[in-house]
Amino acid sequence: MNNDRYIAAIEISSSKIIGAIGKTSGRGDLDIIALEQEKCVESVRYGNIQNLEETSTRIARIINKLERKAGVAPRVVGRLFVGLSGRSIRSISSEASLTLQEDTEITQDIIMRLRDEALKKAIDSSLEVVDAVPGIFTVGKTETRNPIGQIGNRIKGSFDLIVCRPEIKRNLSRTITEKAGIKIERFVVTALATAHLILKPEEKRLGCMLVDMGAETTTVSIYKNGGLQYFATIPLGGRNITRDLTTLNLLEERAEEIKTLSGNAIAISQSAVHNLNGLKVQDVNNLVVARAEEIVANVVEQMVYASLKDSDLSGGMKVIGGGCKLARMTELLAQQSNLHVSIGKLPEGIIYIEDSENNPGIESLEVISIAYAAATLSQTDCLEERRESQPTGQPQQPQQSQQPQQPLQGQPVQTRAAVEREEPTVRVKPHKRSLFEGFKRRITNLFSPPEDDESDLLD
């Protein structure tokens, strides 16, 4: 009996769109049989789709290419798991408690009631909850992360509510379902999915920071004692460095090339020789270093907002995303955070990339993580037989799913939630060309919302 299932996933960022199809047999592994990507400039800003038509056209091209792969054809993509990311995504802590009858056994239904109570305390009309990540539960006087089966007459639980602006999901639905004609099976919070795949359980217990450095945003997820402790998105990324270099009278394409080939996150001694097509190496270096220091200062400061010190994160820092490819970026992060910093990698023996020719390397980690979360936390098969009337390369009309559309959390816990919500008030420091300590002095209120911003959320 063939138990193979096929998962189709897509990640839409401010620099590119990547689609993937993976095959899983239910043994816990995932074989990526098709990968395709399209550059996406200006039509997506900070994770939110701005140009629906252009984005849907690029998605349709990606799906067309995926469907033509030998491991996929003649089947077509009927459903997609879609990554959620962007600068409005963050976490809000919420707690709730229930009084029970004497000696009540804690069940999944009780946990769901507790989660619903936590949601009521944090609902705000301007935000939408996309996931509710369970934290520590207290049954009677005993703390635990897995209360199912314990006995008590009172339970208290904490949840990290992952929230975003409603238009993030709305624009994704309009682009993928209405225009490209493909059903969105579920939304997956990209940061949770990548942590689920890349971070080891012992790293989450010891304390570990996962940093995803994208084109326009940098996402920071901090884990401690086995669970999510903090989650925020910084509106700074690698494209900020590129745009700084355009002040040297460069087109953005050329500025990106120079950043990639000659940029360095740490200041280096260079003579003022014109050896970059008329540009002074020192001028390039000054701009790159200044912005790299600003990004790193904001990343490191997240430990303060999470009420943690570097000594609390003995699992170190894992870095992914295109931004970490800047020369010596990981070294700068290590210097300023006092953490062991390493590049995040796919775990061995779980993920196999068959379509290595189209693999963009570290930048494909997000979409692969989305596919892996979908494969391990759902039973959906995203491919279907091509209808005779359906010409090759044309999108399928969205099919009605037997399952309700719910967000898919990237962490396999019994108390997984599936709701949604929104917008962080994130402030970014002005660009200063100074050393790290200069950034440090100005950073205190960077992510603090206005005094009345969250009062209604945590009421």
Residue corresponding to tokens 């359980």: 201
Per DSSP, the three-state class of 12 is strand
Q: How far is the CA of 23 from the CAs of 4, 59, 354, 355, 382, in angstroms?
A: 6, 20, 10, 12, 10
In angstroms, how far is CA 276 from the centroid of its own chain?
35
Q: Residue 40: its pLDDT value, please?
A: 84
Q: Residue 429: its pLDDT value, please?
A: 41
Q: Residue 46: its pLDDT value, please?
A: 84
Give me the residues of the chain with pLDDT under 50, please. 1, 392-393, 399-407, 409-436, 438-459
249 within 8 A of 206, measured Cβ to Cβ? no
Ordered by where they begin, the domains of the chain are 5-86+167-194+346-384 (3.30.420.40), 90-165 (3.30.1490.110), 204-345+426-442 (3.30.420.40)
Kindly report, residue by residue over 210-247, the tens digit of the pLDDT: 999 999 999 999 999 999 999 999 999 999 999 999 99
Q: Is the pTM of this model over 0.85?
A: no
Q: Residue 240: its pLDDT value, please?
A: 96
Mean pLDDT for the chain overall: 84
Dihedral pair phi/psi, residue 239, rounded to 5°: -70, -25
220 within 8 A of 231, measured Cβ to Cβ? yes
Q: How far apart are CA 296 and CA 319, in angstroms?
A: 12
Element (H, E) at 34: strand 30-39
Kindly report, residue by residue over 265-314, the tens digit of the pLDDT: 998 876 555 567 778 888 999 999 999 999 999 999 999 999 999 999 99
Q: Residue 377: its pLDDT value, please?
A: 85
Kindly report, residue by residue over 22-48, the tens digit of the pLDDT: 999 877 789 999 999 998 878 888 888
421 within 8 A of 123, measured Cβ to Cβ? yes
